[in-house]
């Protein structure tokens, strides 16, 4: 699978010939200099929750690509009212798509659109197909529910975890999360974008290495193959 990081919590995973785009947010990200919403490829847009730093570019990418939005019922309904197409889920449910299965899993956070509309419950996703299995946690605290993931899904090849602290897990909680999900290849996200979530990269990498895991911090625009 090819993973391209677009800053903050926005990334695309190319798998089964499809671009799965998570939490599109490049406009308004002060760290993103030369990537515009029109540069984001998407066959499917997966949305973890309704906060502005996760939904900012959904409308423009959705209109350009006609991608299917997969998210909770409230978020999908919000975009369907604006003429986009989607597939609604809720926590605990799994759906089989032509390119793989998607399971909606718990995230401990909040979820409200920038305009004040209720955004349903926040969540994460476990995506699985013949190429592999990965977990995108979304904005979340460390929670014991993460232990259920290796008990109910195929072994994870990689996971995307927030590490910026303040609004989500910080580095040490993310190490514990990686233990719970039994995954040793972690892509860090949700750090450095704003002053509240700046981290020490060297400390973060060492904390994971000391636990026998690898923390990947791809540059914005960088593609890695996992
Ligand atoms: Ni959030
Ligand atoms: Mn966020």
pLDDT digits (tens, 9 = 90+) for 148-185: 999 999 999 999 999 999 999 999 999 999 999 999 99
Q: How far is the CA of 206 from the centre of ligand 1 (A)?
A: 26
Strands 185-189 and 158-162: parallel
Per the structure, the count of domains in the chain is 1
Looking at residue 25, what is its pLDDT? 98
130 CA distance to ligand 2 middle (Å): 30
Q: What is the CA radius of gyration of the chain?
A: 16
Q: What is the CATH number of the domain that holds 185?
A: 3.60.15.10
Quick check: pTM over 0.95? yes
Give me the pLDDT at residue 119, please. 98
At 173, phi and psi to the nearest 5? -65, -35
Distance 51 CA to ligand 1 centre (A): 5
What is the whole-number distance in angstroms between the Cα of residue 65 and the centre of ligand 1? Answer: 25
pLDDT for residue 48: 99
**Positions of the chain with pLDDT under 50:** none
- Ligand 1 centre from 194 Cα, in Å? 13
pLDDT at residue 181, rounded to an integer? 98
Surrounding ion ligand 2 within 5 Å at CB are 51, 53, 139
CB 135 within 8 A of CB 155: no
Q: Give me the pLDDT at residue 70, please.
A: 99
Question: Which ligand lies nearest the alpha carbon of 119?
Answer: 1
Owning domain of residue 149 = 2-225
Residue 52 Cα to ligand 1 middle (Å): 8
Q: Is 61 exposed, middle or buried (0-12, 13-18, 19+ CB in 10 A)?
A: buried
| Placement of tokens 């847009």 in the chain | 45
107-137 burial string, b = 16+ CB within 10 Å, else e?
Answer: bbbebbbeeeeebbbbbbbbbbbebbbbbbb
d(CA 48, CA 75): 9
Question: 57-78, pLDDT tens digit by residue?
Answer: 999 999 999 999 999 999 999 9
Structure tokens at 133: 């299995």
Question: Which residues make beta-bridge pairs with 54?
Answer: none
- What the block records as the tokens of 157 is 């090849």
């Amino acid at each position: 699978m090819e993973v391209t990081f677009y800053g903050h919590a926005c990334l695309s995973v190319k798998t089964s010939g499809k671009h799965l785009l998570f939490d599109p947010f490049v406009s308004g990200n002060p760290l993103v200099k030369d990537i515009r919403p029109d540069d984001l490829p998407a066959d499917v847009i997966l949305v973890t929750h309704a906060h502005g730093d996760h939904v900012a570019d959904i409308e423009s990418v959705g209109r350009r690509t006609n991608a299917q939005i997969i998210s909770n019922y409230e978020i999908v309904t919000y975009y369907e009212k604006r003429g986009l197409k989607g597939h609604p889920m809720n926590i605990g449910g799994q759906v089989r798509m032509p390119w793989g299965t998607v399971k909606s899993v718990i995230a401990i956070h909040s979820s409200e659109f920038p305009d004040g509309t209720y955004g349903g419950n926040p969540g994460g996703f476990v995506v699985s197909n013949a190429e592999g299995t990965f977990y995108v946690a979304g904005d979340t605290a460390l929670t014991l529910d993460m232990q259920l993931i290796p008990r109910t899904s195929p072994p994870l090849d990689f996971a995307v975890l927030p590490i910026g602290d303040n609004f989500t897990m910080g580095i040490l909680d993310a190490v514990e999360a990686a233990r719970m999900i039994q995954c040793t290849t972690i892509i860090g996200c949700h750090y450095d974008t704003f002053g509240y979530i700046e981290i020490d990269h060297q400390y973060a990498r060492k904390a994971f290495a000391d636990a026998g895991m690898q923390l990947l911090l791809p540059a914005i625009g960088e593609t890695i193959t996992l």
